[in-house]
Amino acid sequence: MAGPARPCHIGIMSIANDFTAEKHRVLNDVFGFEAFRPGQEAVVDTILARRNALAIMPTGSGKSLCFQVSALVLGGLTVVVSPLVALMQDQVAALRLAGVRAETIHSGRDRADNVAAWHRVAGGEAELLYLSPERLMTERMIAALGRLPVTLFVVDEAHCISQWGPAFRPDYAELARLRALFPGVPLAAFTATADAATRTEIVEKLFGGHAEIFIHGFDRPNIRLAVALKRDWKKQLLAIAAEHRGESGIVYCLSRKKTEATAVLLAQHGIAALPYHAGMDKAEREVNQDAFMTRDGVVMVATIAFGMGIDKPDVRYVAHTDLPGNIEAYYQEFGRAGRDGQPARAYLLYGLDDIRMRRLFIEQQDAGDDRKRRDHKRLDALLAYCEAPDCRRRTLLAYFGEEAGPCGNCDTCLEPAEVSDGTEEARLALTAIQGTGQRFGATHVIDVLRGADNEKVRKFRHQGLPAYGRGAELRKEEWQSILRQMLAGGLLDLDIQGFGGLSVTAQGFALLQGEQSFHYRKDTLRRAGRAARRQPPASAAEMPPDEALSQEALSEADARLLERLKELRLSIARERGVPAYVVFHDRSLQDMARRRPGTHDAFAQVHGVGAAKLAKFAEPFVALIAGHDE
């Protein structure tokens, strides 16, 4: 193993320099922004002071800009660790268009291209280098970087240290060795989601317990949250897709087979849907991803193999047809909606069988008992969110340690649930479960409660139980809802290794003995898409300047110009082989439509136009605007 690298080189800029002026110059001249967004500047200042930093910032808040500005101010070479090839490629493409010398080396490129990129890095022609953890933590790469003026290491999507490190991506755990290998070089880690346990694990593993933690909120108020019990998931999904016809969306499925079938289902009903999962041919995946990124109104049907780092601003909805693994994963996945700050929707469909499958996945993973226990608790938190009788957003934010009042933008706020005392119903269900031997699943228990006369009931002589038929006044769907909420409330356990058998917990026995009560939501059968139509997001006065800019209504004439600007952007993006947002975000195009710049100097004032983009794109966009105004 290569020995420790020498301390970081700061020859390009001395510590005594005034970083305040330089960071604002970089922000404006390179990236075209007049001011930092809330939460960014404190992170940048910590990195520039060469202190370790962990930043938890919601999707769309500008995490990448924090380390990109810091890298350019510090000088030397910044190494960015990223988990996915698509994420690395898109960030490098965006940086190059902004005039930043960025490189990436990964398995998806030809060897000759990787060699040429390394020669540029070694020759001092790169300011940022993007690598996967597996490539970075090789002896050869560590030794090579030890001969270069590395001034900063950045770990993007840092939650992977906790979630992937133990088994799937062990090299994420290996990143902890960077502290010893490169003494004096600061580490910065970024993620959109990390609960208290995950934050502690990242700080201990990556930083050895020493890092400044920045938490800039978890709320995404523009995303409306809705959860519904699975009944006929295909019909439910089609209703959701129909409500968002012509809009970009992501539909998550648990299996590859279901992903393929769901894409076909949507396409048969006139929705421009494409599949994406790890089992597909790489070229086909890339074609589908490119279509999703560059075309309007495409719906990507995917497993969790798709999405991390996908910076498509105008995803209007995310729908889960199966229960995610935990509340952090769910937050990450639905957070891919509404990155532009405009109203978006998050839908989740789930049922009892989803819970059994998720419990089974946890038990079958290659991990210790402590890890499994924590993963079960994380799943418990997601179930509590699904069964929340009041504001979902408040339940979600409480998990991440934030307090909030009712949001007014989730299904339970818009259509408050009727909460009823279900103590007697729960006691009856527990009696039936005990009477049947605590080994049968929900379907059979409900048959007993409703007095069904079928072969299975007769075979086990359950028609003679005291609870038999005493719940006949409730429909099957109502009993399913009650049992699901009892499970989420800790009154029942699920036999995840067997066939989903239900058993009574200590809390359940306490209820049977009259020591506690049970309340449940009676209207859990609401349609996923039934809640009131979108309401406007927060007022412009409460937003950062660039978000307020995107919310300001365009005139009819400006809106027509905006469509032509989008067409030009898409044409340029296709010529360069990059996603459209890499050329300009929608906010920049909206600002152009309002300002209608007629000169290069006026174009330089547009939001998101730095020096490089001014030189590359002023001419075609100014010409289009001039022609439109004639």
Q: Is the pLDDT of residue 167 over 60?
A: no
Judge whether 194 and 56 are in contact, CB under 8 Å.
yes
pLDDT at 169: 64
Query: pLDDT tier at 612 (50, 70, 90 boundaries)?
Result: very high
What is the DSSP code string of 419-471? EEE-HHHHHHHHHHHHHTTS---HHHHHHHHTT---HHHHHTTGGGSTTTTTT
Going by C-beta distance under 8 Å and a sequence separation of 6 or more, which residues neighbour residue 133? 81, 83, 169, 171, 172, 174, 175
pLDDT at 114: 95
Judge whether 71 and 142 are in contact, CB under 8 Å.
no
What digits encode the pLDDT tens for the residues 13-66?
A: 444 346 889 999 999 999 999 999 999 999 999 999 999 999 999 877 789 999
Question: Edge-to-edge, what's the strand order for the sheet holding 248-252?
Answer: 223-229, 344-350, 315-320, 248-252, 299-302, 273-276
Q: Is the pLDDT of residue 431 over 70?
A: yes
Separation of alpha carbons 576 and 582, rounded Å:
10
For the chain, percent of residues with pLDDT exceeding 90: 57
Identify the residue whose tokens are 């070694």: 122
pTM, two decimals, is: 0.76
Query: pLDDT tier at 553 (50, 70, 90 boundaries)?
Result: low
Q: Is the pLDDT of residue 308 over 70?
A: no
Q: Is 128 left (phi over 0), alpha (psi -120 to 50) or beta?
A: beta
Separation of alpha carbons 125 and 103, rounded Å:
9
Range of weakest confidence among 10-24, 76-90, 365-379: 10-24
What digits encode the pLDDT tens for the residues 218-276?
A: 899 999 999 998 889 999 999 999 999 999 999 999 999 999 999 999 999 999 999 99
Separation of alpha carbons 194 and 202, rounded Å:
9
Q: How many beta carbons lie within 10 A of that of residue 139, not counting itself?
A: 9
What is the pLDDT averaged over residues 602-606? 95
Judge whether 438 and 465 are in contact, CB under 8 Å.
no
Tell me 554's DSSP state: P
Strand partners, 301: 251, 275
What does DSSP say about strands 223-229 and 150-155: parallel, antiparallel, or unpaired?
A: unpaired
Q: Looking at per-residue confidence, does 44 or 536 come out higher?
A: 44
Q: How many beta carbons lie within 10 A of that of residue 419, not counting itself?
A: 13
Average pLDDT score over the chain: 86
For the chain, percent of residues with pLDDT exceeding 70: 89
3-state secondary structure of 24: helix
Distances (CA, A) of 9 to 72, 421, 436: 14, 67, 72
Going by C-beta distance under 8 Å and a sequence separation of 6 or more, which residues neighbour residue 284? none
Separation of alpha carbons 236 and 528, rounded Å:
7
What digits encode the pLDDT tens for the residues 556-577?
A: 889 899 999 999 998 999 898 8
Question: Residue 248: in which H helix or E strand, if any?
Answer: strand 248-252
Q: Is the pLDDT of residue 535 over 80?
A: no
Judge whether 268 and 242 are in contact, CB under 8 Å.
no
Q: How many beta carbons lie within 10 A of that of residue 443, not counting itself?
A: 16
3-state secondary structure of 374: helix
What is the pLDDT averaged over residues 419-442? 94
Angle at which helix 352-364 crosses helix 369-386, to 10 degrees, equals: 160
Range of weakest confidence among 54-58, 69-73, 180-184, 294-298: 294-298
Range of weakest confidence among 110-119, 155-164, 273-282, 618-627: 155-164
Instruction: Report the chain's terminal Cα–Cα distance, integer Å.
Output: 67
Strand partners, 249: 299, 317
3-state secondary structure of 123: coil
Domains of the chain with bracketed CATH: 19-215 (3.40.50.300), 223-414 (3.40.50.300), 419-521 (1.10.10.10), 553-629 (1.10.150.80)
